Amino acid sequence: MERKERAKVMNDCLLKMPEEERSILWMFYFDELSLKEIIEVTNLSEANLKVKLYRARKRLLAIVEENVEPELINHYGRK
């Protein structure tokens, strides 16, 4: 799978997530904001942000596993 295809798959999976979780993941991974910066934007406590980030990662993984062929997941090191 080429980079453009992977980006489209990831974007499609992100769009299936609740907006708050998607936004937190986006700020952390794509905008490369620190936890402190995300806290300033969202007004969440550090503990709450960490929990939400953890849950968002888990949800994204579940969505990817539901929507991507297992061979591709295995190829990129999951499972």
State pLDDT tens for residues 24-73: 999 999 999 999 999 999 999 999 999 999 999 999 999 988 887 765 66
> pTM for this structure?
0.81
Which residue segment(s) compose the domain that 52 sits in? 3-75
Q: What is the DSSP letter of 70?
A: H
Total domains in the fold of the chain: 1
Count of C-beta atoms within a 10 Å radius of residue 33: 16
38: domain CATH number is 1.10.10.10
Count of C-beta atoms within a 10 Å radius of residue 49: 19
Please report which confidence band the pLDDT of residue 75 belongs to, taking 50, 70 and 90 as the band edges: low
CA dist 4 → 1, 29, 40, 46 (Å): 8, 17, 32, 34
